[in-house]
Amino acid sequence: MESDKRERGSLTQLGSQGTKYATDYDPSLLESFDNKHPGNDYFVKFNCPEFTSLCPITGQPDFATIYISYVPDVKMVESKSLKLYLFSFRNHGDFHEDCVNKIMKDLIALMDPKYIEVWGKFTPRGGISIDPYCNYGKKGTKWEEVAFDRLAHHDMYPEKVDNR
């Protein structure tokens, strides 16, 4: 019970009635909490269908669903802080590939997970969709091999009109 109170005290976004939505990229919005099952390997998956950023050249908006899956170690990301962090990309100019890699690197810095993957399914602009995928497995662990294997075999089948 005491650890729950300490945990709640370190999470400033969850339960806040005065939520502020940053519109400039801000990784400091991310908050973590302790994994209560560090001895178990399990996936946590976030589907984020309302991601928006800007093209760094034209300033045109880009829209995507961002999929984040990770195997936690000691820390986990708090979901409201993740939502606010992703929202902070709203006026941020970066290419799709850069956004996805930034998200992954910021989450690694926050949690140091055993494994993480981030996949962006961006809506087409100019008739082309760009769907970058990146992943990471903790060095020196079985998850490093899992990361290589998943990357090597990721999305090996070409897109069809009916599977977007």
Q: Which residues are catalytic?
A: 55, 62
Q: At CA 144, angle to CA 135 and CA 25, rounded to 5?
A: 30
Whether the CB-CB separation of 136 and 116 falls below 8 Å is answered with: yes
Q: How far apart are CA 22 and CA 147, in angstroms?
A: 32
Mapping DSSP to helix (H, G, I), strand (E, B) and coil, where does residue 163 land? helix
Whether the CB-CB separation of 65 and 74 falls below 8 Å is answered with: no
Q: Which two tokens stand for residue 18?
A: 């005065």
